[in-house]
């Protein structure tokens, strides 16, 4: 900001004053009407509710022609939002939450995405946005009462409900960044507590991404240090059947957000900025396998 303007505004603020009556209660109810807050949900689902609110804030500023612009996978913004709603709806079905939109036919992500994109194309972008948000909030409300360890199967993968919702959170986050980049808007990172839960999921997924890439990490252990807000340290047993990690065979140190995005298919494993130590070929294998679970 121009120094003269900053000086001027500071001068104008030099006489703080208090309104006759507090505007705070009015403000908060007015705020709720203008933009829905993150849906109330269980603590373990809050990273997802937060990313949904952030995506919705981005969509609120999308102009008419933004909606028809291709973002990723050859999808327009409207189709991308329909894709998110499709996968959210499948998770909703898997945990017994209400499923909005047309009834589910084939319950795999690709088919449901096709179906929902076809359905939403006939609707306005604003309706698509509302449909997506309504599905996400319905899912959040349902999760508020669900035990986090509830076994849940989605796309043939059975893990606990809390991990599925963190995966939804990561995907919503990544696609919000995709859309924000297209609109040249800088999206702030989630708060540290939310990043940490995402990072924890990503660290725990490493044995699975290796397995899906045809690599057997049985009996081997990685020490993963993720730096930046929300980061931390993880000792990961690399075999899908391993129960306890042993002494680390290798160490990986990387930025926490970049690491999450690598798992989410954003970033080239060969160029990934990380400090590697110990068994370097194994460390590189881990990084190369990391995006294995990322789909559209």
**Is-contact 168 46, C-beta < 8 A?**
no
Residues in contact with 65: Cβ distance below 8 Å, sequence separation at least 6, in sequence order: none
Query: By the criterion CB under 8 A, which residues form the site for other proteins?
Result: 1-20, 23-24, 26-28, 30-32, 34-38, 49-54, 56-58, 60-61, 180, 185-191, 194
Q: Which is nearer to other proteins, 15 or 244 (CB)?
A: 15
In whole angstroms, how close is the CB of 93 to other proteins at the nearest point?
25
Q: Which is nearer to other proteins, 168 or 194 (CB)?
A: 194
In whole angstroms, how close is the CB of 32 to other proteins at the nearest point?
7
CB atoms under 10 Å from CB of 232, counted, come to: 15
CB atoms under 10 Å from CB of 218, counted, come to: 13
Instruction: Give the sheet arrangement for strand 274-278, strand by strand.
Output: 232-237, 221-227, 250-255, 274-278
In whole angstroms, how close is the CB of 248 to other proteins at the nearest point?
32
In whole angstroms, how close is the CB of 176 to other proteins at the nearest point?
10
Residue 91, judged by CB atoms within 10 A of its CB (0-12, 13-18, 19+), counts as buried
Q: Which is nearer to other proteins, 106 or 191 (CB)?
A: 191
**Is-contact 265 294, C-beta < 8 A?**
yes
The separation between the first and the last C-alpha atoms of the chain, rounded to the nearest angstrom, is 40
In whole angstroms, how close is the CB of 66 to other proteins at the nearest point?
13
Q: How far is CA 107 from the centre of its chain?
A: 21
In whole angstroms, how close is the CB of 228 to other proteins at the nearest point?
13
Q: How far is CA 219 from the centre of its chain?
A: 31
Q: Which is nearer to other proteins, 32 or 121 (CB)?
A: 32
In whole angstroms, how close is the CB of 24 to other proteins at the nearest point?
6
**Is-contact 233 224, C-beta < 8 A?**
yes
In whole angstroms, how close is the CB of 26 to other proteins at the nearest point?
7
Q: Which is nearer to other proteins, 49 or 206 (CB)?
A: 49
Residue 3, judged by CB atoms within 10 A of its CB (0-12, 13-18, 19+), counts as exposed
Q: Which is nearer to other proteins, 19 or 270 (CB)?
A: 19
Tokens for 170, please give them. Answer: 């990561």
Q: Which is nearer to other proteins, 56 or 163 (CB)?
A: 56
Q: Which is nearer to other proteins, 36 or 121 (CB)?
A: 36
Residues in contact with 282: Cβ distance below 8 Å, sequence separation at least 6, in sequence order: 217, 220, 222, 238, 249, 250
Q: Which residues pair with 234 in a beta bridge?
A: 224
């Amino acid at each position: 900001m121009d120094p003269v303007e900053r000086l001027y505004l500071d001068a104008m603020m030099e006489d703080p004053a208090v309104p006759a009556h507090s505007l705070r209660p009015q403000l908060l109810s007015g705020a709720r009407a203008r933009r829905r807050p993150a849906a109330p949900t269980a603590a373990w689902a809050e990273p997802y509710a937060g990313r949904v609110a952030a995506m919705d804030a981005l969509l609120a500023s999308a102009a008419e022609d933004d909606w028809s612009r291709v973002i990723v996978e050859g999808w327009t913004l409207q189709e991308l939002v329909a894709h998110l709603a499709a996968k959210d709806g499948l998770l909703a079905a898997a945990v017994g939450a209400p499923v909005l939109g047309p009834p589910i036919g084939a319950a795999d992500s690709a088919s449901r995405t096709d179906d929902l994109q076809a359905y939403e194309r006939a609707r306005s972008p604003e309706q698509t946005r509302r449909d997506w948000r309504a599905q996400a909030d319905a899912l959040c409300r349902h999760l508020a009462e669900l035990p986090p360890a509830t076994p849940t199967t989605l796309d043939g993968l059975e893990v606990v409900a809390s991990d599925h919702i963190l995966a939804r959170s990561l995907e919503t986050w990544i696609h919000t960044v995709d859309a924000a980049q297209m609109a040249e808007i800088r999206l702030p990172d989630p708060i540290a507590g939310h990043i940490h839960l995402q990072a924890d999921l990503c660290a725990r997924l490493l044995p699975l991404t290796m397995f899906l890439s045809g690599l057997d990490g049985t009996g081997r252990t990685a020490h993963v240090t993720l730096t930046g807000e929300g980061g931390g340290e993880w000792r990961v047993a690399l075999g899908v059947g391993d129960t306890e990690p042993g002494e680390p065979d290798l160490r990986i140190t990387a930025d926490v957000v970049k690491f999450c995005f690598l798992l989410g298919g954003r970033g080239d494993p060969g160029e990934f900025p990380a400090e590697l130590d110990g068994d370097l070929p194994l460390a590189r294998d881990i990084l190369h396998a990391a995006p294995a679970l990322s789909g559209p």
